[in-house]
Amino acid sequence: WAQKYRRLTAKGGAAEAGPWRNDRIPQLMGVMAALDDAHPAPLVIFVGALQIAKSEVGLNWIFRTIHQAPTGILTAFPNEKQAKKWVRTRLDSGIAEIPVIRALVPLGRKIDSGNTLTEKHYTGGVLFTGSANIPSDLASISVPKVLLEEVDRWPQVLEGEGDPVELAKGRTAAFPGRVKVFVNSTPTTEEESRIWPMWLGSTMDRYYVPCPHCAAMQVLSFDNLKWADGKPQQAMLMCEECAALIEHRQKRDMLAGGEWRAEHPEMEEIAKGFHLNGLYTPIGLGRTWEDHARAWEQARGKPAKVQVFFNTRRGEVVKSDKVKLDWEEVAKRREPYELRTIPAGVLQLTAFADVQGDRIEAGILGWGRGERAV
């Protein structure tokens, strides 16, 4: 459908405006095929680096649904600002530039037009757009198709509502057997990421490409990106099979000859998951291997920059620097003492109070040498 009808625009953020070409980003065809109604998986996960066209896949899915299989759709974003920006720049520009969609969705925002920032009406359904931090945007809507964008930037909990991702997924409960939920995101930390556990519980598809020297199929891995220190301009990929060095300019043919391979094919009818890192961006549509090498040299040894590199370029989680306490280890350090007494070794007392709605919670700590507290 995208090859036949989709048009990309500069206003919509496209680096190359014009007709959609599957051969330009061939790795996306597998993701789009999983979103087709004929594919059995009700949940499709797409995790990876920035600039791998996660949002464009979502738009292709939405437009194809409106055109050829109209039904209700919910799209949700981390916050209201991002939701509105997506509608104005990506969704509206696509509607305007794709004739078959423009004929179905009214242009011009009027109260009675069926085209607003939050709702797009068309024969057979409505496209709702909301934000994850507004509970009402994710409630009182019943649809069979849901697009959840950048879920690792969503709030962990909505007060009085719980997990917003589960709340959004629950909008499909009335459509058993007809559900399709598309979740995408660049990951964050191992402890807090939403998309990473979803990915680990999926088919875990990776895109294998042939080596131009020996034709061995392999995943493009940052661990195989090689260059001499201080010379990122020399960055090349080493083949896992023959150890030959592969230049960035050879990537076009490699991507064209690639294929998705599932680590857990038994999950095919439950959760279809895809992962792409920044090495896969087509020539001219993303960062080069030299760019990645240079960025790593600048980030190495700096935890904050290392996280950005792993999240946005490798498309992987990192371990948080937050220390988690083991309650059993803490419990072992307990010592008995009598109430209303000051234990031996305490040299100074401090008091604290926390004002609640109906009370003041207060406590006293005793401090001793070596930062001992009781």
pLDDT in tens, 231-273: 999 999 999 999 999 999 999 999 999 999 999 999 999 999 9
Lowest mean pLDDT among 107-121, 219-233, 285-299: 107-121
How far from 179 is each of 43, 72, 120, 139, 183, CA to CA, in Å?
A: 8, 11, 20, 17, 13
3-class secondary-structure state, position 112: coil
- Can you tell me the distance from the alpha carbon of 129 to that of 219, in angstroms, rounded to the nearest whole number? 35
- Can you tell me the distance from the alpha carbon of 222 to that of 319, in angstroms, rounded to the nearest whole number? 18
- The beta strand positions in 57-213, using DSSP E, are 73-77, 119-122, 125-131, 145-149, 180-185, 205-210
- Write 304-311 long-range contacts (CB < 8 A, 24+): 307/189, 311/186, 311/187, 311/188
Q: What's the rounded mean pLDDT across residues 311-339?
A: 82
Q: What's the rounded mean pLDDT across residues 323-327?
A: 67
Q: Which phi-psi region, left, alpha or beta, contains residue 272 (left: φ > 0; alpha: ψ -120 to 50)?
A: beta
Closest to 246 (Cα-Cα) out of 197, 279, 291: 279
Q: Are strands 43-48 and 180-185 parallel, antiparallel or unpaired?
A: parallel
pLDDT of 31 over the 90 cut: yes
Helices (H), 130-277: 164-169, 195-200, 251-256
At residue 57, the pLDDT reads 97
pLDDT of 14 over the 80 cut: no
CA 165 to chain centre: 12
- The tokens describing 132, both together, are 């994850």
pLDDT of 322 over the 70 cut: no
Residue 313's pLDDT band, with cuts at 50, 70 and 90, is: very high
pLDDT of 321 over the 70 cut: no
pLDDT of 216 over the 80 cut: yes
CA within 13 Å, CB half, 139: 10
Please state the pTM of the whole predicted model. 0.84
Helices (H), the chain: 2-5, 28-35, 54-68, 80-85, 92-97, 99-102, 164-169, 195-200, 251-256, 289-299, 303-309, 327-331
Q: What's the rounded mean pLDDT across residues 163-176?
A: 91
Instruction: Say if CB 267 and CB 233 are below 8 A apart.
Output: no
Closest to 27 (Cα-Cα) out of 250, 156, 196, 219: 219
Instruction: Say if CB 143 and CB 71 are below 8 A apart.
Output: yes
